[in-house]
Amino acid sequence: MTASEPMWQKEMKHLVMDADTLSQQLDIPRTAFIASDFPLKVAAPFLSRIRPRDIHDPLLKQIMPVDAELHKDPRYTADALDERPRNLSPGLIRKYHGRALLIVTGTCPLHCRYCFRRQFAYNENRPSRNQWRSVLNELRHDKNLREIIFSGGDPLSAPDRYLSWLANMVADIPQVERLRIHTRFPVAIPQRVTSELLGWLSCLSLPVVMVLHINHSNEIDQSVITALHKLRHGGVTLLNQAVLLRDVNDNLTAQQNLCERLFAAGVLPYYLHFPDRVQGTTHFSLSVRRARRLYRQMLNHLPGYLVPRLVMEKPGAHAKTLLMPLNE
Ligand code: SF4
Helix orientation angle between 252-264 and 288-301, rounded to the nearest 10 degrees? 50
Q: pLDDT tens for residues 274-292?
A: 999 999 999 999 999 999 9
Domain assignment present for 38: no
Q: Is the pLDDT of residue 1 over 70?
A: no
Residue 315 is predicted with a pLDDT of 87
- Ligand 1 touching residue 63 (CB < 6 A): no
Report how many domains make up the chain.
1
**Measured in angstroms, how far is the CA atom of residue 134 from the centroid of ligand 1?**
27
Q: pLDDT tens for residues 165-193?
A: 999 999 999 999 999 999 999 999 999 99
Domain assignment present for 39: no
- Ligand 1 touching residue 115 (CB < 6 A): yes
Give the 3-state secondary structure of residue 103. strand
Domain assignment present for 163: yes
Domain assignment present for 287: yes
Atom from ligand 1 closest to the CA of residue 114: 7
Residue 80 is predicted with a pLDDT of 87
Domain assignment present for 316: yes
Residue 17 is predicted with a pLDDT of 96
Residue 207 is predicted with a pLDDT of 98
Domain assignment present for 50: no
**Residues whose CB falls within 8 Å of the CB of residue 122, separated by 6 or more in sequence, listed in order:** 103, 106, 153
CATH number at residue 108: 3.20.20.70
Q: pLDDT tens for residues 112-168?
A: 999 999 999 999 999 999 999 999 999 999 999 999 999 999 999 999 999 999 999
- Ligand 1 touching residue 83 (CB < 6 A): no
Residue of 94, 127, 112, 120 lying closest to 242 (CA atoms) = 112
Band (pLDDT 50/70/90 cuts) for residue 2 is: low
Domain assignment present for 289: yes
Domain assignment present for 125: yes
* Among protein residues, the one whose CA lies closest to atom 8 of ligand 1: 115
Domain housing 207: 77-322
